[in-house]
């Protein structure tokens, strides 16, 4: 299954679903910050997420309990790949170089990154 990029509103609903594991629309709405969108808005977003095949449901009569079909980790991986392809010529060194040069990394941050790299190399 190919994962498609989600809109900001779709991502917000997915973050809540990842946190709750399964939920009815009213449960998702309860977790949203103020000003809360209309119930129908959340319901529409959920139906779009179903069409994108990232959300499934269990029917209880006329109501549906929704659950994620992809993990948050899978989605993050997809988005990072898209970022790499779209902005960094699919090059990890280009991505890292951007963050090192343009984001005023502190020495502590660089030490942590180097530790991660070294730990990965030694495994």
Number of alpha carbons in the 13 Å side-chain half-sphere of residue 113: 10
Q: Would you place residue 106 in the very low, low, confident or very high pLDDT band (cuts 50, 70, 90)?
A: confident
Tokens of 101: 């040069």
Mean pLDDT of 51-55: 95
Q: Is the pLDDT of residue 123 over 80?
A: no
How many CB atoms are located within 10 Å of the residue 16 CB? 19
Q: Could you tell me the domains of the chain?
A: 8-68 (1.10.10.10), 72-121 (no CATH)
Mean pLDDT of 75-101: 87
Regarding pTM above 0.85, the answer is no
* Tens digits of residue pLDDT in 3-33: 888 999 999 999 999 999 999 999 999 999 9
Please tell me the predicted confidence (pLDDT) of residue 26.
97
Strand partners, 64: 59
């Amino acid at each position: 299954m190919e994962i498609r990029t989600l809109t900001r509103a779709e991502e917000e609903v997915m973050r809540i679903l990842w946190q709750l594991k399964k939920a009815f629309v009213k449960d998702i709405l309860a977790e949203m910050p103020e000003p809360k969108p209309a119930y129908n808005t959340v319901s529409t977003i959920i139906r779009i997420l179903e069409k994108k095949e990232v959300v499934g449901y269990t029917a209880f009569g006329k109501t549906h309990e929704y659950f994620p079909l992809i993990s948050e980790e899978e989605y993050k991986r997809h988005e990072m790949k898209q970022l790499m392809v779209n902005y960094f010529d699919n090059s990890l060194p280009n991505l890292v170089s951007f963050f090192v040069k343009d984001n005023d990394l502190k020495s502590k941050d660089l030490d942590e990154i180097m530790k991660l790299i070294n730990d990965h190399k030694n495994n």
